[in-house]
Structure 1
Amino acid sequence: MKSYYKKALILLLINYITCTQVTAQNNEVNWLSFNQLEDSLAVKPKKVFIHFYADWCVLCNKMERKTYKDSTVINILNKEYYAVKMNVESTEKITFGGNTYENKNAKKVNSIHQIPLLMASRKNKPFSLPATVILDENFIATARYFQFLNSKQLLKTIQ
């Protein structure tokens, strides 16, 4: 009986993910949280697109208004990737891959959560936004960008 319930739960999750992505394909990127990403990857491995931002980041906000509103960008991200968007100043504790990550300096101005520091830092350079990380189906980084990307530039990276 347990096997039946497990299969039913997996089918429901696949159906939910598929329906959510089809609905979102029409007008917006189907952004996931890291918790949703881990669940989705367990059901169906897929490439991952991560956009790190902060509310005060002018170029991040411009990407939200322009780049992520382009219908071709929306369709490709929703169809071929799990798209994750994370505020680098988040104070949320996130458990991913069996580890818990947090913003250890949350009470300081412009603090940065451990996940973006881990995934979008560069050696001998300060952390900068906007930061985009693209991972393959095995969760291995294939590209990192630390700049504003317009829709044309982004399409070159995700197609």
Structure 2
Amino acid sequence: MKKLALLVIVSLAMLSSISCAGNKKEKPKAAAGSVAWLAWDQAMAAAQSEGKFIAVDVYTDWCKWCKVMDEKTYADPAVTGLMKESFVAVKLNAESANPVNFQGKTYTEMDLARSFNISGYPTTMFLASDGTVLETIPGYIEAPVFKNILDYFASNSYKNTNLDQYLSGKQ
């Protein structure tokens, strides 16, 4: 079962990388009732002061599956509810030259994404409130699976169970 979950994640990552070679367009707008996105520096400060996890959506403007996640996954009421309760949400444009601060250094968004070894989009990262990377998940994630991933962190299951095991128990 663990191999099957890994195979699904790798397949989705490959599919999203291939699909994202489409046309370049404007940054997708958040749908009404969707996740409230903060700027990077604002999100880091809020996570520390509120003791919340940080959910990072690493995207590009031209990525089709990034837009689908915006329209479907991040607009799902179950996802938005959990995000508001336990997470601070931030978008990181992997092609932007905008400066951001992370752990005492200034990066461009592009350089920060590279420092996390992200090369496919979308990629979702989960960080502890202090900025420690807890999990990096490449590829499009459907809302029900994303909700289970949010539950994994919100319930603190990440402390004693790996994500694949947790998700296999949710199927």
**Structure with higher RCO (Cα < 8 A, 6+ apart):** 2
In structure 2, the residue matched to 1:155 is: 147
Give TM-score, length-normalised by structure 1: 0.69
**Counterpart residue number, 2:88:** 82
Structure 1 stretches (4+) deviating beyond 6 angstroms?
none
With normalisation by structure 2, the TM-score equals: 0.65
- How big is the shift at 1:41? 3.2
Given candidates 55, 61, 75, the residue that maps to 2:61 is 55
Q: Which amino acid aligns with 1:115?
A: L
Q: CA RMSD in A?
A: 1.7
Q: C-alpha offsets along residues 88-125 of structure 1, whole Å, 9 cap, x if unaligned?
A: 1111122233211026xxxxxxxxx0111122x26xxx
**How many residues align structurally?**
120
Is 2:112 aligned against 1:115? yes
**CA distance in structure 2 between the aligned counterparts of 1:138 and 1:39, rounded to whole angstroms:** 9
1:65-99 CA distances to partner (integer Å, 9 max, x unpaired)?
11111001001011100111121111112223321
Q: Distance in 1 between the 2:100 and 2:124 partners?
A: 19
**Alignment partner, residue 121 of structure 2:** 129
For the structure 1 residues 60 and 45, does the alpha-carbon distance in structure 2 shift closer, same or farther, using more than 3 Å as the test? same
Distance 1:142 1:96, change over 3 A: closer
Give the CA deviation at 1:42.
4.0
Distance 1:139 1:98, change over 3 A: closer
Runs (5+) with no aligned partner, structure 1? 1-25, 104-112
State the structure with more CA Rg.
1
Identity of aligned residues (%): 24
| 1:92 equivalent in alignment to 2:89 | no
Residue 133 to residue 114, structure 1, CA distance change in 2 (3 Å): same
Q: How far apart, CA to CA, are the structure 2 residues paired with 1:91 and 1:69?
A: 27
Secondary structure of 2:90's counterpart equals strand
> Is contact 2:56–2:91 with CA below 8 Å preserved after alignment?
yes
